[in-house]
Amino acid sequence: MSFAELLDFDLLSIIGTSAFAVSGYLLGVRKHFDLLGISIVAALPAIGGGIIRDVVVDRIPVSFTDNTNLFVILATLGVALLIRLHKHDNQVLNTLFIVADSIGLVAFSLGGAQVGLEAGLNAFGVVSLGFITAVGGGIVRDMMVNDVPFILHQDFYGTVSILVAGALYGLNHFGLANAWAIHALFLAGLALRLLAHWSELSLPKVGKHH
């Protein structure tokens, strides 16, 4: 069984794309955007990071040659509209946004790291590709809607991506990247991100006034 089969990149891509599309949809509703605006902020985190990653490794972005991610985004938005997801209680929506965004973060960190491993990159390269894939599109989205990106100030957001991608590199380096270990890594990364958010954990801030 190949490394790609162990990681099941296609499944990770679908999970991450759908999760980020949900988070973008909820953000668009919160900002009172129209359907086009909602579609744009849903698509940016779902495929933006992957496009940036593919440009970095000098290949045509997957989203330009494979329609799967676009279909996943459209299907996710269709279901969200059909069940009137935006009509739920604000607290429920906030929780759903964090969970969906966290799933996308971890799934894309692993998927991006896999691209680095398959390209034979070193630890820095693997972690960088995982990081770019996970947060690149979200940064563009947040800047577009005039929000400070999560990665710059909130609860281990970028740190989780770095840790997950780095852990995958370590597992592969020591020959431990089997299916069970990778699934456990996904769950551990998701748990860490959610714990950091709900416990309000964060890295130290320089020059913070008390």
Q: What is the mean pLDDT of the chain?
A: 87
Task: Give CA–CA dist 135/158, Å, rounded.
Answer: 7
- Are 32 and 204 within 8 A, CB to CB? no
Q: What residues does each domain of the chain span?
A: 3-198
| 12 vs 2 pLDDT, higher one | 12
Q: Which of 76, 82, 97 is nearest to 27 (CA)?
A: 97
Q: Read off the pLDDT of residues 180-205 as tens digits, 9 standing for 90 and up.
A: 888 899 999 999 999 988 887 777 77
What is the pLDDT, as a whole number, of residue 151? 74
What is the pLDDT, as a whole number, of residue 1? 42
CB atoms within 10 A of CB 74: 15
Share of the chain above pLDDT 90, in %: 54
Task: Give CA–CA dist 180/125, Å, rounded.
Answer: 24
Helix H or strand E segment including 62: none
For residues 99-124, average pLDDT? 92
Q: Which amino acid is at 86?
A: H
Q: How confident is the model at residue 3 (pLDDT cuts 50, 70, 90)?
A: low
For residues 57-73, average pLDDT? 92
DSSP state, 199?
A: T
The tokens for 129 are: 């590709």
Q: Which of 48, 42, 44 is nearest to 61 (CA)?
A: 48
Task: Give CA–CA dist 46/51, Å, rounded.
Answer: 10
- Are 141 and 45 within 8 A, CB to CB? yes
What is the pLDDT, as a whole number, of residue 72? 94
Q: Read off the pLDDT of residues 146-189 as tens digits, 9 standing for 90 and up.
A: 888 767 766 578 899 999 999 999 999 999 888 888 889 999 99
**Cut 0.85: pTM above it:** yes
